[in-house]
Structure 1
Protein backbone atom coordinates (compact mmCIF):
# COMPACT_ATOMS: atom_id res chain seq x y z
CA UNK A 1 0.00 0.00 0.00
CA UNK A 2 2.81 2.42 0.78
CA UNK A 3 4.28 1.99 -2.72
CA UNK A 4 0.89 2.74 -4.25
CA UNK A 5 0.53 5.86 -2.09
CA UNK A 6 3.99 7.04 -3.07
CA UNK A 7 3.17 6.80 -6.77
CA UNK A 8 -0.24 8.46 -6.40
CA UNK A 9 1.25 11.35 -4.41
CA UNK A 10 3.48 12.20 -7.39
CA UNK A 11 0.41 13.02 -9.50
CA UNK A 12 -2.53 13.57 -7.13
CA UNK A 13 -3.57 15.12 -3.82
CA UNK A 14 -3.90 12.69 -0.90
CA UNK A 15 -7.35 13.30 0.63
CA UNK A 16 -7.72 10.50 3.20
CA UNK A 17 -6.44 6.97 3.80
CA UNK A 18 -6.35 5.52 0.29
CA UNK A 19 -8.26 8.27 -1.54
CA UNK A 20 -6.48 10.53 -4.02
CA UNK A 21 -7.83 13.27 -6.28
CA UNK A 22 -6.49 15.58 -8.92
CA UNK A 23 -6.44 16.81 -12.49
CA UNK A 24 -3.76 15.29 -14.70
CA UNK A 25 -2.86 15.52 -18.36
CA UNK A 26 -3.43 12.52 -20.59
CA UNK A 27 0.31 11.82 -20.52
CA UNK A 28 0.43 11.98 -16.73
CA UNK A 29 -2.61 9.70 -16.55
CA UNK A 30 -0.91 7.04 -18.68
CA UNK A 31 2.30 7.30 -16.64
CA UNK A 32 0.33 6.98 -13.38
CA UNK A 33 -1.60 3.93 -14.60
CA UNK A 34 1.58 2.33 -15.94
CA UNK A 35 3.43 2.84 -12.66
CA UNK A 36 0.50 1.46 -10.67
CA UNK A 37 0.13 -1.60 -12.90
CA UNK A 38 3.84 -2.35 -12.48
CA UNK A 39 3.55 -2.75 -8.68
CA UNK A 40 0.01 -3.85 -7.87
CA UNK A 41 -0.78 -7.49 -7.17
CA UNK A 42 -3.79 -8.35 -9.35
CA UNK A 43 -4.90 -11.06 -6.94
CA UNK A 44 -4.57 -9.14 -3.65
CA UNK A 45 -4.94 -5.42 -4.33
CA UNK A 46 -8.09 -3.58 -5.33
CA UNK A 47 -7.41 -0.38 -7.24
CA UNK A 48 -10.15 1.72 -8.84
CA UNK A 49 -9.60 4.80 -10.98
CA UNK A 50 -12.42 7.25 -11.63
CA UNK A 51 -12.13 9.65 -14.57
CA UNK A 52 -14.34 12.45 -15.83
CA UNK A 53 -13.18 12.78 -19.45
CA UNK A 54 -15.77 15.36 -20.48
CA UNK A 55 -16.28 16.85 -17.02
CA UNK A 56 -19.69 15.20 -16.65
CA UNK A 57 -19.69 11.46 -17.35
CA UNK A 58 -17.97 9.36 -14.69
CA UNK A 59 -15.86 6.40 -15.85
CA UNK A 60 -14.83 3.72 -13.35
CA UNK A 61 -11.88 1.45 -14.18
CA UNK A 62 -10.74 -1.43 -11.97
CA UNK A 63 -7.01 -2.14 -12.42
CA UNK A 64 -7.00 -5.52 -10.65
CA UNK A 65 -8.65 -8.94 -10.90
CA UNK A 66 -10.01 -8.98 -7.35
CA UNK A 67 -13.79 -9.05 -6.90
CA UNK A 68 -15.50 -5.68 -6.88
CA UNK A 69 -16.90 -5.07 -3.38
CA UNK A 70 -19.49 -2.72 -4.89
CA UNK A 71 -21.02 -5.43 -7.12
CA UNK A 72 -23.87 -5.99 -4.69
CA UNK A 73 -24.87 -2.31 -4.46
CA UNK A 74 -28.09 -1.18 -6.09
Structure 2
Protein backbone atom coordinates (compact mmCIF):
# COMPACT_ATOMS: atom_id res chain seq x y z
CA UNK A 1 0.00 0.00 0.00
CA UNK A 2 1.05 3.61 -0.54
CA UNK A 3 1.54 5.51 2.74
CA UNK A 4 2.05 9.14 3.71
CA UNK A 5 3.07 9.55 7.35
CA UNK A 6 3.13 12.89 9.16
CA UNK A 7 4.06 13.37 12.79
CA UNK A 8 3.95 16.21 15.31
CA UNK A 9 5.90 15.33 18.44
CA UNK A 10 7.84 17.13 21.14
CA UNK A 11 11.39 18.11 20.19
CA UNK A 12 13.16 15.71 22.54
CA UNK A 13 11.61 12.70 20.73
CA UNK A 14 12.02 13.96 17.13
CA UNK A 15 15.39 12.34 16.41
CA UNK A 16 14.16 8.89 17.49
CA UNK A 17 11.04 9.22 15.33
CA UNK A 18 13.04 10.49 12.36
CA UNK A 19 15.40 7.51 12.53
CA UNK A 20 12.49 5.07 12.85
CA UNK A 21 10.53 6.51 9.91
CA UNK A 22 13.61 6.59 7.66
CA UNK A 23 13.97 2.81 8.17
CA UNK A 24 10.55 2.25 6.60
CA UNK A 25 9.72 5.24 4.36
CA UNK A 26 11.25 7.99 2.24
CA UNK A 27 11.78 11.32 3.98
CA UNK A 28 9.98 14.13 2.13
CA UNK A 29 10.36 17.12 4.44
CA UNK A 30 10.31 17.83 8.17
CA UNK A 31 8.07 15.23 9.79
CA UNK A 32 6.69 13.96 6.43
CA UNK A 33 7.43 10.55 4.89
CA UNK A 34 6.01 8.49 2.04
CA UNK A 35 6.43 5.14 0.36
CA UNK A 36 5.15 1.64 -0.26
CA UNK A 37 4.64 -0.57 2.82
CA UNK A 38 2.97 -3.90 3.42
CA UNK A 39 0.33 -4.04 6.15
CA UNK A 40 2.74 -6.07 8.28
CA UNK A 41 5.51 -3.45 7.93
CA UNK A 42 3.04 -0.65 8.72
CA UNK A 43 1.94 -2.44 11.91
CA UNK A 44 5.59 -2.96 12.81
CA UNK A 45 6.35 0.74 12.28
CA UNK A 46 3.34 1.79 14.36
CA UNK A 47 4.25 -0.61 17.15
CA UNK A 48 7.71 0.93 17.43
CA UNK A 49 6.33 4.47 17.09
CA UNK A 50 3.90 3.94 19.96
CA UNK A 51 6.93 3.25 22.15
CA UNK A 52 8.39 6.65 21.24
CA UNK A 53 5.42 9.03 21.32
CA UNK A 54 3.50 10.45 24.26
CA UNK A 55 -0.12 9.77 23.27
CA UNK A 56 -1.35 12.74 25.33
CA UNK A 57 0.89 15.27 23.54
CA UNK A 58 2.09 13.82 20.23
CA UNK A 59 0.39 12.62 17.08
CA UNK A 60 1.07 10.53 14.01
CA UNK A 61 -1.24 10.78 11.01
CA UNK A 62 -1.13 8.10 8.32
CA UNK A 63 -2.77 8.39 4.93
CA UNK A 64 -2.88 5.04 3.13
CA UNK A 65 -4.31 3.73 -0.09
CA UNK A 66 -3.81 1.12 -2.76
CA UNK A 67 -3.69 4.04 -5.18
CA UNK A 68 -2.15 7.42 -4.43
CA UNK A 69 -5.30 9.35 -5.38
CA UNK A 70 -7.51 7.63 -2.74
CA UNK A 71 -6.29 7.97 0.82
CA UNK A 72 -7.64 6.87 4.21
CA UNK A 73 -6.69 8.84 7.32
CA UNK A 74 -5.69 7.26 10.64
CA UNK A 75 -4.63 9.28 13.67
CA UNK A 76 -2.53 7.67 16.41
CA UNK A 77 -2.40 9.66 19.64
CA UNK A 78 -3.90 13.12 20.15
CA UNK A 79 -5.43 14.73 17.09
CA UNK A 80 -4.18 18.31 16.93
CA UNK A 81 -7.06 19.71 14.87
CA UNK A 82 -10.29 18.22 16.11
CA UNK A 83 -12.99 19.22 13.63
CA UNK A 84 -16.60 19.71 14.64
CA UNK A 85 -19.39 19.22 12.13
CA UNK A 86 -21.47 22.07 13.54
CA UNK A 87 -22.82 24.49 10.95
| TM-score, normalization by structure 2 | 0.71
2:40 & 2:74 partners in 1: Cα distance?
17
1:18-73 deviation per Cα after TM superposition (whole angstroms, max 9, x unaligned): 10001011211111111111111001112111111x32531111100x2432626x
* Number of the residue aligned with 1:7: 20
SS in 2 for 1:42: coil
2:79 & 2:63 partners in 1: Cα distance?
17
Gaps of 5+ in 2: 1-13
The partner residue of 1:26 within 31, 34, 39 is 39
Which one has a larger percent strand, Structure 1 or Structure 2? Answer: 2
Gaps of 5+ in 1: none
Q: Between the two structures, name the one with larger relative contact order (CA 8 Å, sep ≥ 6).
A: 2
Between Structure 1 and Structure 2, how many residues are aligned?
A: 70
| TM-score, normalization by structure 1 | 0.82
